[in-house]
Structure 1
Amino acid sequence: MNNRVHQIKSWSKFFRPIVAGERSHELRRNDRDYQVGDILILREYDPEAGDYTGSACEAVVTSMTSQERPCAVSDEGLNAGFCILSIRVTAMTEDLGGRGVRRPASV
Structure 2
Amino acid sequence: MNKPATQKTHELKTHPEAFQAVEYGVKMAEFRKNDRDFAVGDILILRDYDPKTEQYSGKFIKRLVTHIQTGYGIPDGYVMLSMSTIRYSPFL
Interval of TM-score (by shorter of Structure 1 and Structure 2): 0.7 to 0.9
Given residue 79 of structure 1, which amino acid in structure 2 is its aligned partner?
A: P
TM-score (norm 2): 0.85
Whether 1:78 and 2:74 are equivalent positions in the alignment is: yes
Question: Which of residues 41, 50, 54 in structure 2 aligns to 1:37?
Answer: 41
Q: Which has the larger radius of gyration?
A: 1
Aligned to 1:89: 85
TM-score normalized by the length of structure 1: 0.74
**Residue 70 of structure 2 aligns with which residue?**
66
RMSD: 1.2
Q: Percent identity?
A: 35
Residue 15 (str. 1) matches residue 36 (str. 2):
no
Distance 1:44 1:86 in 2: 19
Q: Which residue number corresponds to residue 51 of structure 2?
A: 47
The Cα offsets for residues 67-107 of structure 1, whole Å up to 9 and x where unpaired, read as: 3xxxxxx3xx11011000001122xxxxxxxxxxxxxxx51
Q: What is the rounded CA distance, in whole Å, between the counterparts of 1:42 and 1:36 in structure 2?
A: 16
Q: 2:29 aligns with which of 25, 28, 33?
A: 25
Where in structure 1 do 4 or more consecutive aligned residues deviate above 3 Å? none
Structure 2 segments unaligned to the other structure (5+ residues): none
* Equivalent-residue separation in structure 2 for 1:7 and 1:63 (angstroms): 18
- By relative contact order (CA 8 Å, sep 6+), the higher-ranking structure is 2
Count of aligned residue pairs for this structure pair = 84
The gaps in structure 1 that reach 5 residues or longer are 68-73, 91-105
Residue 22 of structure 1 aligns to a residue in which SS?
Answer: coil
